[in-house]
Chains A and B, each alone.
Chain A
Amino acid sequence: MKPAPFAYKKARSLDEAIALLGEKDARLLAGGQSLIATLNMRLSSPSLLIDINGIDSLAGISQKGDTVEIGALTRHAHAEHSDVIAKHVPLIARAMPYIGHPAIRNRGTLGGSIAFADPAAELPACLLALDGEIEAAGPKGKRTIKAQDFFKGLFETALAPQELLTAIRVPTANKDTRFGFAELARRHGDYAIVGLAASARADGKRLSDVHLAYFGVGNTPVRAKKAEAALAQGNIDAAVDALDLEPHDDVQATAKVKMHLAGVLLRRVAGQLMETRS
């Protein structure tokens, strides 16, 4: 199918984009790798597309103290090959190759992926596992939203209608932080059947501050907090038994299969978290 007619405007500044968002049925166009697909299928039919690709201040990766800031318009391919991400945010570096395919990663943006909040997408779960935060700008100025408060429901976020995600911020890794990432998909690059992004702190031979952020098992990325507690005790079997998830049946797998796969992924990721870093 072809998209229904819409008007198009290339925003030259953040303020212009925010002002245009006040128009009826206006949508932001960033990488377009989800939005244009939904336009083609007429699952969405905005009256105005605001192209933010020309706002250079929204792109880029920078380290500021113990935080890495990633601009909303940063392309997946840029993050995938970024030395700053590889060194300071290894979880996101590890997740990148799972996101779509090379041609998708050349266009898709980190901000778009997080603002779209697909429950089976990798980056929202990474942000949750890292206790990251989202910077949003709107008519009243900028504000910061914690990842745990951002994902509200199916494709639903804490962004107000006239707000725009401008950047994400995540803490830098240090010698004690450990990360794990695994996902199962029918085809490499497809949305996950089940996936898991995890972080923890190595505390002697134990783990503390375990974050297990699952995706593909609910309406939003979700933390499995009982399993986190069990894993911090060092007992992987108990962590698998304690998995507190409530997946639904979907086109890819039944809830029962998803629960099984969540346990498989937990064992894989637990192994990654317990590896000693050289």
Chain B
Amino acid sequence: MSARTLDISITVNGERVQESVEARQTLVDFLRESLSLTGSHVGCEHGVCGACTVRVNGEVVRGCLMLAVQCDGATVETIEGLSDSGEVADLQTAFEQRNALQCGFCTPGMLATAQDLLKRGGVPTRDEIREHLSGNYCRCTGYHAIVDAVEAVAQARAGEKQ
């Protein structure tokens, strides 16, 4: 049967969620409106700004370019989950210390995307950091401080491993 409303079962930030969703509802709207996880932001709604970036089955995706119904059976992690688990704590501290945010609208997406790069290990070059973050718009900082923060965390994490 094809239907306009479907039941889905998703694991969000470690918790199993069962909901009925409209087929047309995007993942980010589902997270924000049905689960009140408002850390993922809705900016451009066509995949350009990166403010809605979340992880689905361990990979970063645009929350506005996936339907909630497509996530049936998937594991979703939002900035709330990444923050609560401490996975991005060092990035958050570095962003704060280096003034890598002003209004904060882009920050959840920036953190998720930066963590996607850093979890590969090694210390990326500044060019590689810029390229990886190229799909995330920030209208406040001019990016320089963001690149500084990500680079500092990459170096710190590499140092801890030695």
- Listed in ascending order, the chain A residues whose CB lies under 8 Å from chain B are 1-9, 20, 29, 32-33, 36-37, 39-41, 48-49, 51, 53, 77, 97, 100-104, 106-107, 187-189
Contact = CB atoms under 8 A, between A and B. Distances in A.
23 contacts: A2-B26, A7-B2, A8-B3, A8-B67, A20-B2, A33-B47, A36-B26, A36-B47, A36-B66, A37-B47, A41-B45, A41-B46, A51-B70, A100-B135, A101-B135, A102-B132, A103-B53, A103-B61, A103-B62, A103-B135, A106-B59, A107-B62, A107-B65
A180 to B, nearest CB: 20
A45 to B, nearest CB: 10
Given A2-B29, A4-B24, A8-B69, A36 B64 contact: yes
Contacts of A101: 50, 134-136
A6 B5 CA distance: 9
A36 B135 contact: no
B135 to A, nearest CB: 3
Interface string B109-123: 000010011000000
Given A36-B26, A102-B60, A103-B62, A5 B135 contact: no
B134 A9 contact: no
Contacts of B59: 77, 106
B131 interface: yes
Contacts, number: 101
B4 A5 contact: yes
A5 B21 CA distance: 12
Nearest to B23: A8
Contact of B46 (A37, A97, A106): A37
A189 B47 contact: no
B159 to A, nearest CB: 25
